[in-house]
């Protein structure tokens, strides 16, 4: 990866998740120069935090490995991490984008040898694991991290801990004087692929997320199942570390709900169906899943997967939006509601409740610099008013991975159309 | 209605339209997506089951089950706790619809005659609109004596300790029986309410006529 | 702080000799300390309460509430209406919302009001006393007047339904509102923030018509308070107070329990904490006597 | 290649210097590796270290570089020397990070490192720097097959990007199924009402675009060639055949509605008043051309009540009908119910569904229908009984628990049947059809590919075309040919348009890369390509049969004919070849074989077994790397060689290893089978099939079957793999040393 100078034939991609990486790589492999901006210290985004994909139950890191290999071998993509777009000026074919880059305190000399991590003692919350666990204040963001370079948590800068890290590094990779800087990047087109965030489950008051430790979100559950996660891949419940064998999955936690998200987030049904597999995988004996749902939306080719899970005797489906969750004296969350098929009331205790939280576009509520038209849910709309700023992936709609990648590939073409015109005009 | 037309009306809009026209907030019934969160949120449904919880009533309305809905005791179980309203993902004003269906069933004489809450509800409204203010003693006695004098005495005796407790605490005044709190402009209130009833009657009749 | 003035809608149960008369007593003392001036709306009428629905119809119910708005406007133009009763507050607020959003309903209401020679020109704000305390005065201001902290008293904050749903107090959660706990803390007592029955329905009017249904819920509410070691329960709602307090004997008979826990209004706690005596706090109005509070109220004030 | 000059560089950073004897490694490189220039460096990946290597290349004539440092997955950009042959000896993740830092482990750890240096030197010497496939074509024209929404969108988007397009439509009009719709589901807020289909607009754009050459009433008679130089014959109605030079192809052949005549229990084919969704569109278009009232087909009376039956012949677990959900039908029925409600709110419209599926903002559309008074009933329809001019719909009302619910006197019943993809000939089907004994009508080929492997793109299990990959939706098994729209997966109009745009990009990318002689995904940019020594070929045809991508045909004499631009560089042909005549410049039977032979095999008395690991570079090798990063220890007796795919593993490597005295061989590759995770589709499966036959070889060598172990591995197996390795090492101790040691 050599650095190239961005021009108005460059495509700027905002967001280094699977959509952003796809858009960047597809454009670069078609011969275009790309600057890829990611706000986290490593690429990968939300999918890299998943344990498995539905419906194949394959591992997202597998595709990430391929994408990273594509990236490492492609000099046309310049990656900026810890970077956020703070302003876009100009118009189609001629944008100047301001990018705010936060200090990593570690430069490219880093070999990821890990000596700084061993030297530092301070622990900080680990956002890669949704703060379910902690890591050292000198850390590699995750096992697949690209750039494969450590990061110092800003909280230790100016403390003896930072000095310890610096002293431990034999390669002059730690630079405690790094400052936040804003750089300007020229671009002919911009692809906005900032993805989604899980809906804030604490807002769904009856479910007691935040009040009851054993009520967690679906994205957190992924981390519990993942070998790189805070429990080393064991499904242990947060309150007492007990094995959570009897797991409830609550669909539409935030989605299809006018008090929260009006749209259907599309992926959550499939995600829960997939997660019943984790329960079965980790507890071949005694694992039990209950899915509380309104409609199971196993759309198109995914129907098979639903039928397979339906045939599984350890999985129970209850057509019901759970009304509320309480906690019993052993810390078990208890679901209250009515099975609307046949009107059966239930108050059922589980070891763990997993809320299938909805998808909220990351751009919602954030002031996107420059003008970008979005719908009332905050998803970026295809609108001529957006000029050559194109949405991609979950920033545009609630999409599964496959559709997000399609969307990103399409966005790459739209951007290429713009820069090709620029190139033609300049030739 | 003959049995045949009843069959023909199943899953037709007729009863739904009737509810929309005649019941307060009835035009929300069609918005239900049968998630059941209302049924699961209802406290009385959990203490002692409703025959048909709200979401099921809505489906019955849409399925044209007129008799079953209007003669049901279910909506009379509502305690007006508003749990269903705040949790409904469709923001359907379920509490009001429950009251509304009950009111309509009562209005057209379909409501179960012996339903205690129906009786109390009527009693309460009459009590409070009579003078403009509630007379708690008369209200209680009215309830106890709803099933005749003998039963009334029994009911009263059963509640004796409660009443004595309240009297001792100065929170139940036996003298309320002979007058008690009232508004000054009772006449104005009666006239105003009469007018309100009249307007409402005219409006509902007009809706029925289409 | 300058005197705060409001139009006051006490409601039927707060009248002299009625079931919540002690609530009114304590509110009056509390407001005196806090320099809040409540002026009763002349000739106010009943809100109709939720239970009146069978006979009420839609328009008559709103007209009933609108009459109070009109009277308030006539006598105290521009003043916000404050209710102490949850049902009064909710009934009035619902009418306000409905009339604001439906021109037809507003026109019909005006027409009916004419019959009693009244008119509405502006919609008043409808406030619950708790809102006034929290939003207009604030916890710091309320706390300033505490001269006799209720030290060591463990109190379950029972919020109930109608001050909580569907409108609730701004910034509070429907499922776990914390303002009563903050108030308990403010008067120097010990709250139980994880008291899980704090928003359970007391059964409302079903306590009269179908007591077995209501009492099942009352049992849960009281039992859980005991489980958390509460010495008393505090509530902002007259019907909650009455139902949870006066039926404990009946619940004991039905379920073989031995409940005997006092149920107080927040205003009573405040009056005692503000140095008021038992009478000013309306403690004589308890069916289940609040001995602990009476003892504190008898103690000299720490200055 | 003429003179090669190999240089070995050994890094001492990241603890390598402390844990290993670097001077000894330099000596091993010189002595055993026979490398003229070997150096060590304190910090090889920094600017100074890289500059040293670059200087040697520029000024010392170094052509081949062996780097003994970290894994090839680390510092890839620093050690990027595209003009040179480069090998990496993984001393960090592969040696010191997986070994305990103890005195007793020091000897075996050093041995491990020395072997990797030997292997790296041997490998690099067997390599040449890849130069790219010279056998390229330069056509910049896209062929789009299908003139529906998807095909039209692909054509327009490609043209907008500056590429010319040949668009072939088999019917006489553009528009496809969307052209037969009255209106479509809205795609913008407020999602309240059906919207214009947009078909006319797209069609006029096509007709006005000089870059798009349109063939109507035309089909593809033959497709020859490979990306960048396809030659496509187009047959037109007149009987004339036109030939076009094509760079890449997008197949957008759409779908056919599932035949409702197969659903007689739902009234399909039994009454004019029972229609499918397409039938209802026709009624709506007809009504719109008249008074706007949708009428009962049987007698022309206005429809007063209509029932929509969802999932008719879909989501069927019995295998009788379609097993999948077509995704769009819930929204389509909602839209169609609105046709009635918008015209006359008094028409009763009931939608009977089992799961209502309106993802995303479709939820708003669902709400809008409810607002308009459409009744939604959760139930399973058992029977539709047409009598006279009406029908009775019998169903199980799942909410009201009424198994005998029925709607009588429905004027019209609409069956929401699914989408059957128009994916052409299923090239893998004949065996299946024969088994079932059924006489199936032979489907008509769409692309008529003149490929050895068959005339169309392969199908997935439900008849849709690729891709099977979640992260890579456009990875078809026919390089340079992409499918888009409902032929690929059930989809609605907005999705099809998005898909069409993405496919246009992939097609453009494919023809650009083909021109440059580079590989397409997943080894995108790879300049190596297969070379065959035909003089050694025995015409066994294994390579042509096994190539997962249909890259190899046969020439008239029966020799394999490589279409390099179709090749994805997996090496499956190389693995298949019994006479080992196929190789890549930087990956060959020799590059791996030389590594196997370079390992120093201790004698049978040393109690130091040797285990060869052939690890797929996509999943197994990264998993081993991450085990190293997590400092998970495993046996010092393994020697790991990354391979492009298990499919590229030639059994000679295994026999060579066993002959050389290795005690065991572990093969680690991705999941194969229906839910395959192999990045080369069939590679790992083919590798395993070959391996399953190795037992015979073992028998002839008089060796135990435990000597070879096949492992299905995922990239997350960072704990499992070390466990498996250690377990296997222990098992081999029980089996005893290989009898071939010391020969």
Residue D452 has pLDDT above 60, yes or no: yes
Within a domain: A2: no
Q: Is D172 exposed, middle or buried (0-12, 13-18, 19+ CB in 10 A)?
A: exposed
Is B107 in the same domain as B129? no
In sequence order, the 6+-apart residues with CB closer than 8 A to the CB of D567 are D133, D479, D519, D529, D530, D547, D549, D551
- State which CATH number among 1.10.760.10, 3.40.50.1110, 1.20.1050.140, 3.40.50.410 fits the domain covering C4-129: 1.20.1050.140
What are the boundaries of each domain within chain C?
4-129, 147-298
Within a domain: B210: no
Looking at residue A384, which CATH number applies to its domain? Answer: 3.50.50.60
Write down which residue in A314, A334, A359 finishes a domain.
A359
Distances (CA, A) of D64 to C89, C237, D4: 86, 86, 7
The C-alpha atoms of residue C188 and residue C302 are separated, in whole angstroms, by: 13
Average pLDDT on D4-19 reads 96
- Of the residues B31, B32, B38, B40, the best mutation for testing chain A's interface (the one with the most A CB atoms within 10 Å of its CB) is B40
Q: Which residues of B are less than 8 Å from D375 in CB distance? A: 11, 13, 16, 30, 62
Partner-chain contact B36 A259, CB within 8 Å: no
The reply to whether domains D1-129 and D601-743 share a CATH topology is yes
Give the 3-state secondary structure of residue B149: helix
Q: How high does pLDDT run on average in chain D?
A: 95
Is B87 in the same domain as B105? yes
pLDDT in tens, chain B (210 residues): 455 667 778 888 999 999 999 999 999 999 999 999 999 999 999 888 899 999 999 999 999 999 999 999 999 999 999 999 999 999 999 999 999 999 999 999 999 998 999 999 999 999 999 999 999 999 988 888 888 888 888 888 888 899 999 999 999 999 888 888 899 999 999 999 999 999 999 999 998 886
Look up tokens 């009443």; give the residue. B163
Instruction: Please list the helix, strand and coil fractions of chain B in percent, rounded to the nearest 5, in that order.
Output: 70, 0, 30
What are the residues of chain B with a beta carbon less than 8 Å away from any beta carbon of chain A?
33-41, 45-46, 49, 52-53, 55-56, 83, 86-87, 89-91
HEC string for D519-537:
CCCCCCCCCCCCEECHHHC
Span A139-191, pLDDT tens digits? 999 999 999 999 999 999 999 999 999 999 999 999 999 999 999 999 999 99
Average pLDDT on D412-418 reads 97
The answer to whether A339 faces chain B, any CB pair under 8 Å, is yes
The C-alpha atoms of residue A260 and residue B89 are separated, in whole angstroms, by: 8
Residue D70 has pLDDT above 80, yes or no: yes
The C-alpha atoms of residue D620 and residue D669 are separated, in whole angstroms, by: 6
Is B93 in the same domain as B138? no
Partner-chain contact B62 D370, CB within 8 Å: no
Asked if D95 contacts D70 with a C-beta cutoff of 8 angstroms, the reply is no
B165, B181, B200 ranked by CB distance to C15: nearest: B181
Q: What is the pLDDT of residue B9?
A: 82
The answer to whether D466 faces chain A, any CB pair under 8 Å, is no
In sequence order, the 6+-apart residues with CB closer than 8 A to the CB of A158 are none
CA angle B23, B29, B35 (to 5 degrees): 145
The answer to whether D558 faces chain A, any CB pair under 8 Å, is no
Q: How many CA atoms lie within 13 A of D126 on its CB side?
A: 21
Is B134 in the same domain as B42? no
Is A187 in the same domain as A64? yes
The C-alpha atoms of residue A281 and residue A284 are separated, in whole angstroms, by: 6
Among A155, A174, A58, A57, CA closest to A115:
A174
Which structural domain, as residue segments, surrounds residue A342?
199-359
Distances (CA, A) of D545 to A245, D520, D528: 47, 21, 22
Q: What is the pLDDT of residue D692?
A: 87
Is B101 in the same domain as B8? yes
pLDDT in tens, chain C (303 residues): 689 999 999 999 999 999 999 999 999 999 999 999 999 999 999 999 999 999 999 999 999 999 999 999 999 999 999 999 999 999 999 999 999 999 999 999 999 999 999 999 999 999 999 999 999 999 999 999 999 999 999 999 999 999 999 999 999 999 999 999 999 999 999 999 999 999 999 999 999 999 999 999 999 999 999 999 999 999 999 999 999 999 999 999 999 999 999 999 999 999 999 999 999 999 999 999 999 999 999 998 866
DSSP 8-class letter at A154: G
Q: What is the pLDDT of residue C250?
A: 95
Is A92 in the same domain as A230? no
Span B152-176, pLDDT tens digits? 888 888 888 999 999 999 999 998 8
Residue-level length of chain C = 303
The reply to whether domains C4-129 and C147-298 share a CATH topology is no
Rg of chain A on CA atoms, in Å: 23
Chain A residue with Cα closest to D519 = A29
CB atoms within 10 A of CB B206: 10
Cα torsion for A61, A67, A68, A69, to the nearest 10°? 120
Span C12-28, pLDDT tens digits? 999 999 999 999 999 99
How would DSSP label each residue in C103-138? HHHHHHHHHHHHTTT---SSPPPEEEHHHIIIIII-
Q: What is the pLDDT of residue A1?
A: 39
Q: A 156-195 residues with CB below 8 A of C?
A: none
Is A317 in the same domain as A409? no
Q: What is the ipTM of this complex?
A: 0.96
In sequence order, the 6+-apart residues with CB closer than 8 A to the CB of D352 are D307, D308, D309, D310, D377, D378, D379, D381, D393, D395
Is domain C147-298 given the CATH code 1.10.760.10 in the classification?
A: no
The answer to whether A15 faces chain C, any CB pair under 8 Å, is no
Dihedrals phi, psi of A305, to nearest 5 degrees: -65, -40
Which structural domain, as residue segments, surrounds residue B143?
116-200
Among D108, D126, D64, D132, CA closest to D653:
D126
Partner-chain contact A211 C194, CB within 8 Å: yes
What are the boundaries of each domain within chain D?
1-129, 141-254+422-515, 257-418, 531-571, 601-743
- Of the residues D248, D326, D331, D716, the best mutation for testing chain A's interface (the one with the most A CB atoms within 10 Å of its CB) is D716
Q: What is the pLDDT of residue D3?
A: 83
Residue D740 has pLDDT above 80, yes or no: yes
Parts of chain A with a pLDDT under 70: 1-4, 365-370
- Of the residues B2, B9, B13, B57, the best mutation for testing chain D's interface (the one with the most D CB atoms within 10 Å of its CB) is B13
CA distance B116 to chain D (A): 27
Is B69 in the same domain as B129? no
The answer to whether C287 faces chain B, any CB pair under 8 Å, is yes
* Top-level class of domain D257-418: alpha beta
Chain B residue with Cα closest to A294 = B35
The C-alpha atoms of residue C15 and residue D83 are separated, in whole angstroms, by: 97
Q: What is the pLDDT of residue D702?
A: 85
Q: What is the pLDDT of residue D1?
A: 45
CB atoms within 10 A of CB B210: 7
The C-alpha atoms of residue A264 and residue C151 are separated, in whole angstroms, by: 51
Partner-chain contact B121 C53, CB within 8 Å: yes
CATH code linked to domain D601-743: 3.40.50
Q: A 30-59 residues with CB below 8 A of D?
A: 30-31, 51, 53, 56-59
CA distance A13 to chain D (A): 16
Q: What is the pLDDT of residue A2?
A: 43
Average pLDDT on D55-68 reads 97
Is domain D1-129 given the CATH code 3.40.50 in the classification?
A: yes
Chain A residue with Cα closest to C199 = A206
How does residue D700 score in pLDDT terms, banded at 50, 70 and 90? confident
Q: For chain A, first and last CA: distance in Å?
A: 27
Is A164 in the same domain as A130? yes
Q: What is the pLDDT of residue B207?
A: 87
- State which CATH number among 3.20.80.10, 3.30.70.20, 2.60.120.10, 1.10.150.120 fits the domain covering D531-571: 3.30.70.20
DSSP 8-class letter at C236: S
Within a domain: A175: no
CA angle D190, D191, D196 (to 5 degrees): 115
Span D633-677, pLDDT tens digits? 999 999 999 999 999 999 999 999 999 999 999 999 999 998 899
The C-alpha atoms of residue D37 and residue D5 are separated, in whole angstroms, by: 8
- Chains contacting chain B through 3 or more C-beta pairs under 8 A: A, C, D
Please count the structural domains in chain B: 2
Looking at residue B51, which CATH number applies to its domain? Answer: 1.10.1060.10
The order of strands in the sheet holding A83-91 is A83-91, A94-101, A181-187
Please count the structural domains in chain A: 3
Asked if C67 contacts C73 with a C-beta cutoff of 8 angstroms, the reply is no
Is A282 in the same domain as A319? yes
Is A339 in the same domain as A246? yes
CATH architecture, domain defined by D141-254+422-515: 3-Layer(bba) Sandwich (3.50)
**Buried/exposed B27-61: b ≥16 CB within 10 Å, e otherwise:** bbbbebbbbbbbbbbbbbbbbebbebbbbbbbbbb
Q: Which residues of D are less than 8 Å from B13 in CB distance? A: 346, 348, 373, 375
């Amino acid at each position: 990866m050599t650095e190239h100078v961005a021009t108005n034939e460059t495509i700027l991609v905002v967001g280094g998740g699977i959509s952003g990486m796809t858009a960047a790589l597809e454009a670069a492999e078609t011969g275009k120069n790309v600057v890829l901006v990611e706000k986290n210290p490593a690429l990968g985004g939300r999918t890299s935090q998943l344990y498995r994909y539905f419906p194949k139950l394959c591992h997202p890191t597998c595709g990430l490995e391929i994408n990273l290999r594509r990236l490492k071998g492609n000099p046309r993509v310049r990656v900026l991490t810890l970077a956020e777009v703070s302003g876009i000026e100009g118009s189609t074919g001629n944008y100047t984008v301001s990018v705010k880059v936060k200090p990593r305190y570690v430069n490219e000399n880093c070999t990821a040898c890990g000596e700084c991590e061993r030297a530092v003692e301070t622990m900080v919350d680990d956002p890669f694991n949704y703060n379910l666990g902690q890591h050292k204040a000198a850390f590699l963001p995750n096992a697949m991290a690209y750039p494969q370079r450590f990061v110092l948590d800003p909280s230790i800068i100016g403390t003896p801990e930072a000095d310890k890290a610096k002293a431990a590094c034999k390669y002059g990779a730690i630079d405690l004087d790094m400052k936040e800087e804003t750089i300007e990047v020229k671009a002919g087109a911009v692809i906005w692929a900032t993805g989604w965030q899980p809906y804030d489950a604490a807002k769904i008051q009856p479910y007691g997320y935040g009040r009851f430790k054993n009520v967690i979100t679906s994205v957190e559950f992924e981390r519990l199942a993942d070998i790189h996660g805070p429990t080393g891949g064991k499904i242990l419940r947060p309150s007492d570390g007990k094995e959570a064998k009897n797991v409830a999955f609550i669909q539409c936690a935030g989605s299809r709900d006018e008090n929260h998200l009006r749209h259907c987030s599309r992926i959550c049904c499939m995600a829960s169906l997939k997660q019943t597999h984790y329960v079965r995988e980790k507890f071949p004996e005694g694992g039990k899943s209950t899915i509380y749902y309104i409609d199971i939306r196993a759309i198109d080719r995914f129907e098979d997967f639903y039928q397979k899970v339906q045939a599984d005797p350890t999985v129970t489906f209850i057509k019901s939006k759970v009304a509320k969750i309480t906690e019993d004296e052993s810390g078990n969350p208890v679901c209250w509601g009515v099975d609307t098929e046949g009107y059966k009331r239930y108050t059922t205790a589980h070891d763990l409740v997993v809320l299938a939280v909805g998808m909220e576009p990351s751009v919602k509520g954030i002031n996107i610099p420059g003008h970008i038209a979005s719908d009332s849910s905050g998803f970026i709309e295809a609108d001529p008013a957006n000029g050559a700023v194109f949405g991609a992936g979950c920033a545009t709609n609630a999409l599964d991975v496959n559709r997000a990648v399609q969307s990103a590939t399409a966005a790459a073409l739209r951007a290429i159309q713009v820069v090709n015109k620029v190139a033609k005009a300049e030739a | 209605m003959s049995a045949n037309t009843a069959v023909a009306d199943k899953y037709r809009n007729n009863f739904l339209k009737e509810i929309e026209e005649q019941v307060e907030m009835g035009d929300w019934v069609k918005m239900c997506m049968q998630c059941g969160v209302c049924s699961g949120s209802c406290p009385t449904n959990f203490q002692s089951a409703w025959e048909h919880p709200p979401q099921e009533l809505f489906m019955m309305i849409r399925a044209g089950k007129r008799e079953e809905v209007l003669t049901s005791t279910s909506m009379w179980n509502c305690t007006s706790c508003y749990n269903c309203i705040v949790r409904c993902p469709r923001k359907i004003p379920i509490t009001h619809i429950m009251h509304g269906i009950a009111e309509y069933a009562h209005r057209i004489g379909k409501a179960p005659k012996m339903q205690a809450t129906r009786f109390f509800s009527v009693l309460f409204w009459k009590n409070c609109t009579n003078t403009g203010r509630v007379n708690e003693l008369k209200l209680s006695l009215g309830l106890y004596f709803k099933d005749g004098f003998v039963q009334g005495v029994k009911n009263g005796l059963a509640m004796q300790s409660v009443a004595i407790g309240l009297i001792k605490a100065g929170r139940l005044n036996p003298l309320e029986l002979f007058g008690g709190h009232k508004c000054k402009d009772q006449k104005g209130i009666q006239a105003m309410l009469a007018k309100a009833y009249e307007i409402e009657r005219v409006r509902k009749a007009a809706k029925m006529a289409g | 702080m300058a005197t705060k003035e409001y139009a006051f809608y006490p409601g039927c149960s707060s009248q002299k000799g009625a079931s919540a008369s002690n609530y009114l007593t304590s509110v009056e003392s509390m407001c005196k300390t806090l320099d809040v001036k409540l002026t009763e709306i002349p000739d106010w009428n009943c809100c109709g309460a939720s239970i009146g629905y069978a006979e009420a119809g839609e328009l008559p119910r709103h007209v009933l509430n609108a009459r109070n708005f009109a009277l308030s406007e006539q006598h105290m133009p521009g003043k916000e209406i404050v209710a102490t009763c949850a049902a009064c507050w909710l009934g009035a607020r619902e009418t306000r919302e409905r009339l604001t959003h439906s021109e037809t309903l507003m026109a019909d209401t005006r027409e009916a009001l004419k019959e009693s020679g009244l008119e509405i020109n502006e919609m008043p704000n409808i406030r619950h006393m708790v809102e006034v305390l929290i939003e207009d005065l604030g916890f710091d201001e309320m706390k300033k007047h505490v001269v006799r902290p209720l030290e060591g008293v463990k109190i379950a904050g029972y919020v109930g339904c109608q001050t909580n749903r569907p409108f609730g107090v701004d910034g509070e959660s429907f499922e776990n509102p914390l303002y009563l706990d903050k108030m308990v803390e403010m008067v120097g007592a010990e709250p139980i923030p994880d008291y899980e029955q704090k928003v359970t329905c007391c059964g409302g009017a079903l306590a009269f018509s179908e007591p077995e249904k209501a009492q099942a819920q009352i049992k849960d509410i009281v039992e859980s308070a005991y489980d958390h070691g509460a010495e008393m329960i505090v509530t902002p709602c007259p019907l909650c107070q009455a139902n949870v307090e006066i039926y404990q004997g009946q619940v004991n008979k039905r379920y073989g329990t031995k409940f005997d826990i006092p149920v107080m209004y927040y205003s009573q706690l405040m009056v005692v904490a503000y140095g008021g005596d038992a009478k000013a706090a309306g403690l004589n109005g308890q069916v289940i006597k609040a001995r602990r509070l009476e003892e504190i109220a008898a103690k000299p004030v720490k200055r | 290649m003429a003179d090669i000059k190999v240089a070995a560089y050994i890094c001492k950073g990241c603890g390598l210097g402390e844990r290993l004897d670097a001077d000894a490694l330099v000596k091993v490189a010189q002595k055993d590796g026979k490398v003229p220039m070997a150096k060590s460096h304190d910090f090889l990946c920094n600017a100074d270290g890289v500059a040293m290597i670059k200087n040697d290349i520029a000024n010392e004539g170094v052509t081949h570089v062996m780097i003994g440092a970290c894994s090839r997955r680390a510092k890839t950009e620093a050690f990027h020397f595209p003009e040179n042959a480069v090998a990496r000896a993984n001393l960090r993740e592969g040696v010191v990070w997986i070994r305990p830092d103890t005195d007793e482990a020091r000897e075996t750890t050093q041995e491990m490192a020395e072997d990797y240096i030997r292997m790296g030197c041997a490998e690099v010497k067997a390599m040449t720097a890849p130069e790219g496939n010279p056998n390229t074509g330069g056509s910049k024209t896209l062929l789009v097959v299908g003139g529906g929404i998807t095909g039209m969108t692909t054509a327009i988007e490609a043209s907008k990007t500056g590429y010319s397009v040949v668009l072939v439509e088999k019917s006489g009009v553009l528009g496809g199924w969307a052209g037969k719709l009255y209106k479509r589901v809205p795609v913008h807020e407020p999602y309240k009402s059906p919207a214009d289909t947009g078909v006319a607009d797209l069609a006029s754009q096509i007709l006005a675009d000089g870059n798009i050459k349109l063939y109507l009433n035309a089909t593809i008679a033959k497709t020859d060639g490979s990306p960048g130089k396809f030659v496509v014959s187009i047959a037109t109605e007149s009987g004339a055949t036109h030939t076009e030079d094509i760079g890449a192809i997008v197949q957008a052949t759409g779908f056919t509605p599932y035949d409702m005549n197969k659903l007689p229990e739902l009234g399909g084919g039994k009454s004019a008043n029972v229609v499918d969704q397409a039938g209802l569109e026709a009624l709506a278009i007809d009504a719109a051309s008249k008074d706007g009232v949708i009428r009962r087909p049987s007698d022309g009376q206005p429809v007063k009540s209509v029932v929509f039956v969802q999932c008719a012949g879909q989501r069927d677990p019995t295998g009788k009908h379609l097993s999948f959900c077509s995704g769009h039908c819930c929204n389509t029925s909602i839209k169609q119910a609105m046709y009635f409600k918008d015209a006359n709110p008094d028409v009763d419209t009931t939608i009977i569904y089992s799961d209502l599926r309106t993802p995303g903002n479709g939820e708003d559309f669902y709400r809008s229908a409810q607002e308009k008074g459409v009744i939604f009933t959760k139930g399973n329809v058992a029977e539709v009984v047409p009598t006279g001019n009406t029908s009775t719909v019998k169903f199980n009302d799942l909410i009201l628990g009424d198994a005998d619910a029925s709607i009588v006197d429905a004027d019209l019943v609409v069956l929401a049947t699914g989408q059957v993809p128009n994916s052409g000939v299923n090239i893998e089907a004949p065996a299946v059809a024969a088994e079932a004994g059924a006489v199936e009508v032979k489907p008509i080929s769409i692309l008529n590919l003149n490929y050895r492997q068959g005339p169309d793109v392969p199908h997935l299990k439900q008849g849709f075309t690729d891709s099977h990959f979640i992260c890579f939706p456009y990875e078809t098994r026919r390089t340079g040919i992409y499918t888009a729209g409902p032929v690929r997966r059930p989809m609605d109009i907005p999705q099809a348009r998005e898909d069409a745009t993405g496919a246009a990009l992939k097609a453009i990318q494919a023809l650009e890369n083909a021109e440059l002689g580079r590989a397409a995904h997943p080894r995108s940019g790879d300049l190596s390509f297969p070379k065959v020594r035909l003089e050694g070929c025995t015409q066994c045809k294994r390579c042509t049969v096994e190539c997962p991508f249909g890259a190899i045909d046969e020439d008239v004499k029966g020799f394999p004919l490589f279409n390099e631009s179709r090749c994805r560089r997996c090496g499956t042909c190389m693995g298949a070849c019994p006479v080992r005549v196929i190789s890549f410049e930087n990956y060959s039977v020799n590059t791996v074989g030389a590594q196997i032979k370079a390992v120093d095999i201790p004698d049978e008395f040393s109690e130091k077994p040797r285990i060869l690991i052939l690890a797929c570079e996509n999943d197994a090798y990264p998993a081993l790397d991450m085990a190293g990063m997590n400092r998970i220890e495993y046996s010092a007796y393994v020697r790991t060689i990354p391979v492009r795919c298990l499919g590229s593993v030639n059994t000679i490597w295994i026999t060579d290893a066993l002959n050389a005295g290795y005690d065991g061989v572990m093969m680690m590759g991705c999941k194969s089978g229906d839910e395959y995770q192999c990045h080369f589709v069939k590679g790992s499966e083919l590798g395993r099939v070959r391996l399953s036959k190795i037992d015979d070889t073992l028998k002839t060598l008089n060796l135990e079957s435990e000597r070879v172990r096949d492992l299905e591995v995922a990239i997350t197996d960072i704990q499992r793999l070390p466990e498996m390795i250690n377990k296997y090492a222990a098992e081999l101790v029980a089996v005893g040393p290989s009898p071939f040691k010391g020969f």
